[in-house]
Every structure is written in C-alpha cells, then in structure tokens.
Chain A
C-alpha cells in the first residue's frame, strides 16, 4: 500500500531565485570593492560605499545571501526526496524563506551605515544576530519535522551533513554573538582581546567549515550521484570522512592567529589539527571525483558535471593549501597578504560557486518540467567562470608572495629594503587590476546563467506541488542483517545523530577555549595598560564603524622585519580592555598597533582628509565626512557603564564625568591643530579618531 503526497517545489524555486539575485548583488559589491583597491575614487565619493564598509557587505552577501540561499535550495529539494516526504510545514518554509531575506536586507542596510560589530563574517549588530538565531531554529524545526515524518527509515549521508551543519552553525553563531547592547544599533562583545580573537576565529574558520563546506558536501553527495546516475564511490569513506571531518575541523580556527599574542600551545594545537584535516577533506574530494568513475564521457557533454568536477577539484586544492598555510613557516609569509584572499576565493568561486551553478542548472529544468534553455550558454558560463577564477586567483597569489617577501627583505646592512610600505603596495597594483578583470569575467558568467535560467523558467511552468508515492514506514521496524549494526542503527536515529554530532564538535572548541578563558597565565597582565579615555573610546568605535580593521592590522608579530617596521611586537596583556579585539587579518595598509605618537595630530588630520597629500600613491580613500560630522556624545555614558560591567576598571561614577573629560581632551587636540594652522571644531568626529590613533600602542611604548 502506498501513500500519495506532494513535494514542495515552490520554496525550492524561491530559494533558487534568491540565490541568483543575491549572488549577482554580492559579486557586484565585491567587484566595486576590488576596483577601489586600485582606484579609490570608485568609492563613489560617499561613506556608505567606501571599502571599509562594503567589504563586510560583500563577504556577508556572498556567504549568507548567495551561499546561504543556495544551501536552503539544495537542502529543501534533496531532503524531501531522500526522505520521501513533503517538508514538515509550509508555513515554516515560508517563514524561513522570507525571514532569511529580511535578515539579508537588514544587513545590506546596516553595514553600509557603519553599524558593525567588526567580527569578521559576523559583522551584523545584535538585533540581526537574534533574527538569524530565530530563523535558524525555524529551519531546524522544519528539517527535523520532515525527518520525523519520513517514509524512508534510513538517513542518507547527505542528511548527516545537513544535521551537522544545523547544530554546529547554531553553536558557533550563539557563542560568537554574546554581546552587551548599549543601544539598538550598538553593542560590545563580552570577550576582550586575546579571548575575543580566539572566539572570532573559532567562529570564522568554522563558518567556512560548517557553512561553506559541510552543507555543500551533503549537496555533493546527493546531486553528483544523481547527475552521474551512479552511486557514490564509497559509502564507507563517507562514514569515515564525515565523523573525522566534523571532529577535526573545529580545532583548526586558531591557525588564523599564528605568531599573534594567542598562547602558543593553542597555535600549535590548531596547526596539528589543520594538517590532519587534509585526510578527511581529501576523503570527501576523492569520494566525489571517483563517483564519476566510468562516467567521464558524460563530463565532456554535460556542463553541470563540468561545474561539479572543477568545483570539487577547487575544494581539493583549497583544502590542501589550507593546511599548508597553517604551517608557521608558510604562514609567516602569507599572513596579512593577498595570498589568503586568493585562497578563500578558490574555495568560494570554485567550490561554492560552481557547485551552486551545477545544482541550479539541475533543479530549475526539473521543477519547471522542461529542458534547459541552452546547454551552449551553460557551457559558455562554465568556461568564462573558470577563466574568471584563474584571472582572480593567479594574480593574487603573485601579489601575496611578492608583498609578503618584500615586507621581510633586508639590505646587507641589516636595514629594511622597502621601509616605505607604499613601495610594496605599488608593486602589486597591476595584480589588483587583473583580479578585478577575473571578477568581471566570473560575474558575466553568472549574468549569462540568470538569462539562461529565466528562459528555462519561461519555457516551462512551475510544478509547485510535485506528486510522489511511497509506502509509509511500518509501525514496527525489524532490523535484519547489517541493519542491526550500530552505525546503521545510528543512521536511523536523527536525534541521537544530532546529539552525537554536537558532542563531537564541542570537544575541540572546549579544549582550546576553557584554559584560555580561565587560566590567568595565558594572558599575562601589564600594569601600565590602562582603559581608553572616553574620547579614545568614541574614536575606537568610529574606527570600527569605518571598517579600518579591514585594511589595517593591530598585531605586530615577533619578527625582526616587523619590529623594525612597526615597533615592539604585540603582547597579550595589551588587549585586555579591547571589546572587541581589532587585530585584523589583512594588511592592505600598514599595521597600526604602535601608531600612537609616530606622527603629530596635524599629520593624521591631513592624512584622513586626503591620504594622497601625506602619502603620495596611497590607495586609502579620503575621510572628509569625519570632519563634517559631529561626534555623538550622548552615548558616552552608556558606553562607559557597559565597559565597566564587562570588567574594564572605570571608577564608579566616572560615566557622569566622562563627557567633561572627553571635551577637555578634544579641546586640547583642536588647540594643537590650530597651532598647525588647521581650524576645526573640537566636537568633530575626526578629533576622536585622531585621539584613538595617537593612543594606539603607547601603553607599553618606551618613552
């Protein structure tokens, strides 16, 4: 006896359209940001479209809007078919879809406004964080609801990856979003300095692992066998690499912080696990590629399989390169350079982008009950996309090696060969132009794809509810033969599977975080390090608002090439009042950790007003709005109080006098500027940011 039911294709279609639309938006913003790196005037002259604010917009748009919607599209389509059941609730599906789009729109509005937490790939402020949590729970309920009413007892490997994705992203997002709100649009992380950095990169790396990798592996396990019409190469390998991947991945985050003030034992631990990570990553890649054994002739004809093959190969390259970059010797050169940008784009453009395109070309004709409008155009998309990746990645690899080595080069006399940072930057500007060309090619391919898909949709009509039949599950399941084995048993128990995955992913994070948070000797305090003055604190928040951290690090590594260039290397105890930490991950401009006192106030004023006058050839955009805008001092009180409750030792009652102290310090800076023939009111934002820059690193600076 079989039951008749219908698959929900409408939600799948909606997520598919959102994927394409946000993909184009996110990549266009990326292109705009890329062009500003050789032509600062491409910021269109407004603060809302300047690099520091739109770089997070680009990363969040492509990760959470493009890839996010693609994940939901892929999961909603495959989950229903693997479980022989319609999604649990149409209402939850609709809430999930529209809620996610609302989050994206809110992000797209707030980030250009400068409302940011500054945590990479999690820049959204706290109300959006709460929204993400709620919608993620809706997704989880909808997914598990479907699993519970399934007509297929056994959960296929794709579903394990979906379950691990759900539970881990939930944990990562919540832990990384523990913020103390001071207003509706502003909050401070409860973690400071070294600990904040550890949380951020535990999150950041595992956003790559559990948002960009595990759901896509799940999708690979469903769509690739479907496209090739043959079973996955090795089911055993899929069991092995699933568990080892989720267990090992979570430890690898601190490899983003090699040579920083993070305790060395955490750094080493992450390196060891990063190297081990090659095994399960390549297990997945091999399992994907070998699924095509005997079907390679299809790859020649079918553009979807071409996308799949190049996508999986990019995954293999990126997951080999990742562990290499996690070796200290290589990281010493690569960190802070464009090498890392090239690395992530091989993953994002190749693995995530190409798999998404393959799945889109596969799903859309199916749910519209028609054939793909043009295979030729899809092939064209494949080739221009591949060229785009090459033109994007290769120049940036060159830029990365070149600049990384130039930073470290000494003359025979023992002096820096390129003491002027700009000299190393000018060297790589042609590579930046080529990168923008690569991005343009890739984006062109996506636009061609959307035309192809629109034509396909127009030729068919959406089968919103697709009829299907399956037998209901027997009320009593009698396990026989291998069904009695414990992993097969586990493959039938979704909740147990969820709990086990949770335990497996919690181990690594706990081992790294608990000692760093609780054992004092991990972060030796320094008595001369004092909290920021109210004006500096406000200036720091402007530094965060403008996204300065996207181009300037505040973390000098203990190399002679760095101490020569920037000054004394950074110490863990210097950051204990930094909520959030601002170490940065990329040096498009020089490090600013010891910026305080290097130049006069007037230099900073002129430099912010027009960087090219003070540093000819600089690609930093002018920040004249800092001069026009008045500093909002109504928040000072709340900020001081919030900082105190986070453990920053401001005296009780200080919040009442904070603004008086702020004005006094602002006046003294304005007076100093006046002596240098710069007339500016002391209530302008630029005064605060100059105050902050002048404070940087001075706590332990030798006088």
Chain B
C-alpha cells in the first residue's frame, strides 16, 4: 500500500500540470477567437439554385 503515496504525489503533480497548461492556454490567447470556426461550418453548403435561397425549411414542412 506504500505505493499510494507515490500515486498521490504523481496525481497531484499531473493535475497541477494540466491546470497550468489550461491557464497558460487561456492567458496566451489560445481562446481569443472562438467564434469564427464555430460559425464557419454553418455557411455555404446548401445546393445552390438560381434565384432561390434554400434553407432547412425546404426539407421539412412542419
């Protein structure tokens, strides 16, 4: 059971490492632009038909 002390120490070190990595990522601006990639996928993927703006409503009539 002595191994538990090593494991406890190791887990705390790893947890602190992960936490530091997270704070560093946030601070260094990794998360500065979270908008562009999330909206980009929403655009421009309907089959284009001349003169008609297609939307989801065209595929389901509630």
Contacts and interface: CB of A to CB of B under 8 A. Distances in A.
A298 to B, nearest CB: 9
B33 A227 contact: no
A370 B45 CA distance: 16
B39 interface: yes
Nearest to A491: B37
A468 B48 CA distance: 8
Contact of A231 (B28, B33, B39): B39
A375 B61 contact: yes
A235 B41 contact: no
Contacts, number: 83
B56 A231 contact: no
Nearest to A9: B47
Contact-residue size bin, chain B (C-beta under 8 Å from the other chain): 20 to 34
B42 A487 contact: no
A158 B62 CA distance: 28
A304 B31 contact: no
B58 A231 contact: no
Contacts of B38: 225, 231-232, 235
Contacts of B61: 371-372, 375
A452 to B, nearest CB: 12
Tell me what chain B mostly uses at the interface: helix, strand, loop, or mixed: loop
B32 interface: yes
Contacts of B35: 231, 235
Given A229-B56, A372-B60, A81 B30 contact: no
B34 A371 contact: no
B45 A485 contact: no
A301 B62 contact: yes
A209 B38 CA distance: 24
A543 B41 CA distance: 52
B12 interface: no
A82 interface: yes
A154 B60 contact: no
Given A231-B35, A231-B38, A265-B3, A302 B45 contact: no
- Most chain B beta-carbon neighbours within 10 Å: one of A235, A370, A375, A481: A235
A154 B25 contact: no
Interface in B46-62: 47-48, 55-56, 58-62
Contacts of A230: 42
A486 B30 contact: yes
- Most chain A beta-carbon neighbours within 10 Å: one of B22, B31, B33, B39: B31
A559 to B, nearest CB: 22
A156 B40 contact: yes
B9 interface: no
B32 A302 contact: no
Given A236-B34, A375-B61, A487-B30, A369 B42 contact: no
Given A235-B34, A481-B33, A486-B30, A82 B41 contact: yes
A293 interface: no
Contacts of A235: 34-35, 37-38
Given A234-B34, A235-B35, A482-B29, A154 B40 contact: yes
A463 interface: yes
B34 A365 contact: no
Contact-residue size bin, chain A (C-beta under 8 Å from the other chain): 35 or more
B28 A466 contact: no
Contact of A365 (B32, B40, B60): B60
Nearest to A233: B38
A230 B33 CA distance: 17
Interface in A347-389: 361-362, 365-366, 369-372, 375
A402 B34 CA distance: 49
Contact of A225 (B22, B41, B48): B41
B26 to A, nearest CB: 9
Contacts of B42: 225-226, 229-231
Contacts of A231: 35, 38-39, 41-42
A375 B32 contact: no
Contacts of A226: 41-42, 56
Given A156-B37, A235-B37, A236-B31, A81 B47 contact: no
A484 to B, nearest CB: 9
A222 interface: yes
Nearest to A158: B41
A702 interface: no
A301 B34 CA distance: 30
Contact of A487 (B25, B41, B59, B60): B25
- Most chain B beta-carbon neighbours within 10 Å: one of A154, A301, A482: A482
A372 B34 contact: no
A510 to B, nearest CB: 15
Nearest to A470: B44
A363 to B, nearest CB: 10
B44 to A, nearest CB: 8
Contacts of B37: 154, 156-157, 235, 491
Nearest to A222: B41
A365 B46 CA distance: 12
- Most chain A beta-carbon neighbours within 10 Å: one of B28, B31, B37: B37
Contacts of B29: 482, 485
A368 B42 CA distance: 21
29 contacts: A154-B37, A157-B37, A158-B41, A225-B42, A226-B41, A226-B42, A226-B56, A229-B56, A231-B38, A231-B39, A231-B42, A235-B34, A235-B38, A236-B34, A265-B3, A361-B60, A365-B59, A366-B59, A370-B59, A371-B61, A372-B60, A375-B61, A463-B47, A468-B45, A470-B44, A481-B32, A485-B30, A485-B32, A486-B30
**7 A-B pairs with the lowest CB-CB distances in the bound complex, closest first:** A231-B38, A235-B34, A482-B33, A365-B59, A301-B62, A235-B38, A81-B45
Interface of B: 3, 22, 25, 28-35, 37-42, 44-45, 47-48, 55-56, 58-62
Given A365-B59, A481-B33, A482-B32, 18 more contacts: A158-B41, A227-B56, A230-B42, A231-B41, A235-B35, A235-B38, A304-B60, A361-B60, A369-B47, A370-B59, A372-B60, A375-B62, A469-B48, A470-B44, A482-B29, A485-B28, A485-B30, A491-B37
